[in-house]
Amino acid sequence: MLDTHGRKFVQPIIKYLADRCIRAGLSANQVTIIALLLGLSVPLSIHLGYSLVGAILLWVSGLLDAVDGTIARLKGSNLFGALMDITFDRIVEIGIILVLAVKYPENNFLFLLLASSIIISMTIFLTVGTLSTKISEKSFYYQPGLAERTEGFIFFTGMILFPQYLKIIVIIFILIIIFTAGQRMAEARKILK
């Protein structure tokens, strides 16, 4: 929801950073790889006990994840870059879920449900994006929903910084993802005829 409706407010910052990266000679794919490396440092930071650093790195990684797409749109789309972007996003999420599962094993069933709900929602999202003839500024149709990337960052940040509320944060996140999957399935039924 925040990506769909709030992007216009942060896009000037993202565009400024994209222009700076282009001037520095960085391609969209290179920025995607930098975002992945920063994203992979999040679970490492959490594991080493630097939760605040991990949360900050998560948001910087997310910012670069938005910058790479803007670079791709400015310089021309790269379908392999889109694949890397989507895959690397999931790798970072998996890393965070795994390190939290190791750190807080009493919640492993909830982490399993969280991973399952993400898989279901992303399957719908990617399938509709591939099959739909609707156009968006991204390399495929970007189906809006209650839980988008920014909402995920908010919930992951909550899990990282407030482990005393981990169970309730994960449960709420699961419910929001399931709701989003339902939203996307309902829209898919209308547009995929």
pLDDT digits 0-9 by tens, 47-76: 999 999 999 999 999 999 999 999 999 998
Structure tokens at 8: 């216009």
The count of structural domains within the chain is 1
Q: What's the CATH number where 65 sits?
A: 1.20.120.1760
CA 65, 68, 70, 76: dihedral to nearest 10 degrees?
-150
Distance CA 84, CA 32 (A): 7
Query: What range defines the domain where residue 46 resides?
Result: 2-191
The single-letter code of the amino acid at 5 is: H
Taking residues 24-43, report their average pLDDT.
Answer: 97
Decide: pTM greater than 0.75: yes
Distance CA 120, CA 60 (A): 27
pLDDT tens, residue by residue, 85-111: 999 999 999 999 999 999 999 999 999
